[in-house]
Amino acid sequence: MSVPPVYRRWVTCPEPRPQASLRLFCFHFAGGDASIYRLWTTQLPAAIEVCPIELPGRATRRAEPPITDFGTLIDTLARRVLPFLKERPFAFFGHSFGGVIAFELTRTLRRLGAPMPVRLFLSACPALHRRPRAAPPISHLPDTEFLEQIALRFGTPREVLTSQDVRETVLPALRADLFLAESYRYVPEPPLGVPLSSFGATEDATVGPQEVREWGEQTTADFRPRMFPGNHFYLATERPRLYQALLEDLQFP
């Protein structure tokens, strides 16, 4: 498929698979980048073409200013992914704040009358309609306090957060993404007609089993909640189980 380079900056494709029957768009967590899905491109079946989304302000797009307003991000992202949605069926997978992005992008596509995903996967993401109060903002805090709050909220090891490499390469994107997350406000809309899978982890203090199940209220189609061993970042340690769940819910043999 031929699309302008600016679109390819947003929609990466480490291993193009022209014969694939489905595209899986993956949305990274706050402070992350498209590389967290690199192994997926080779470990999932050849029938799936993995397309991780790369937001500006990180990794290959570090020189670009990050987007810090949620509405602007979703409107821009919708324009960038539209050329990729008409060739073949597709699904969305979003982890943590990436789940918020995947969910709201799906609702935006519905408003635009655009093609819809065959399934929406929301991982380690709270049921937004059941969280009336946003967590206290932390994006404005000094570096040390900011990273301490990240460790407390998400269980990220402090030794990782305090490394010089993290401060230089991850901290700017993480702060920008938290500022972006803090600009988000849930607005009620009718449930989606899209099948939805909600994944959580048994040791994740930020998203409990009930919040995983409550995502079922956001779809009128098939809903499948699942819990995996591990913490908020279980997707790095439970890949075989996660892949199996993805393939089952996508009805791949």
- Report the catalytic residues: 96
**9-13: Cβ within 8 A, 24+ apart:** 9/54, 9/56, 9/60, 9/61, 10/53, 10/54, 10/55, 10/77, 10/80, 10/81, 11/51, 11/53, 11/80, 11/81, 11/84, 12/51, 12/52, 12/53, 12/54, 12/60, 13/49, 13/50, 13/51
User: For residue 183, which of 10, 26, 28, 30 has the smallest C-alpha distance?
Assistant: 30
